[in-house]
Amino acid sequence: MKNLKINDSFYNVRKLFETSGNVSVYDKYHTTVSMDNKIKTGDYFSVDFTEYKRFIYLSVLGDVNGNGDVNNDDFNKAYSILRKNEEVEEVYYLATDTTKDDKLKIN
């Protein structure tokens, strides 16, 4: 899921999708967290069904480094990704699209 709002909770984001599976929430370090926790880029939902699992990874608009805040560190990370071609997981790349136009650029 991309373009999520900074400071939103897992509880609010969970309302954006329906499932019959059992839903658990994890941070980017694969540690179980509370539904009340603030989401960060790289966090995810695990949806467990009887015979398989699905993962829904979260990308928070502007939270490029995944710490849950938007500040100069995110700008520096975005610069590193876009100008220096640093390889990162897709959720971090998506967090750089702060204009929500599917164009990633630094002027």
Question: DSSP letter string over the chain?
Answer: --SBPTT-BHHHHHTT---SSEEEEE-TTS-B--TTSBP-TT-EEEEE-SS-EEEEE--BTT-TTSSS--SHHHHHHHHHHHHS-----HHHHHTT-TTSSS-----
DSSP H or E run through 73: helix 72-83
Statement: residue 52 has pLDDT above 70: yes
| pLDDT cut 90: percent of the chain above it | 72
User: What torsion, rounded to 10 degrees, do the Cα atoms 74, 5, 33, 19 define?
Assistant: -130
pLDDT at 89 exceeding the cut of 70:
yes
What are 41's two structure tokens?
A: 């880029």
Of the candidates 49, 50, 70, the one whose C-alpha atom is nearest the C-alpha of residue 61 is 70
Mean pLDDT within 85-94: 87
Q: Specify the pLDDT at position 107.
A: 57
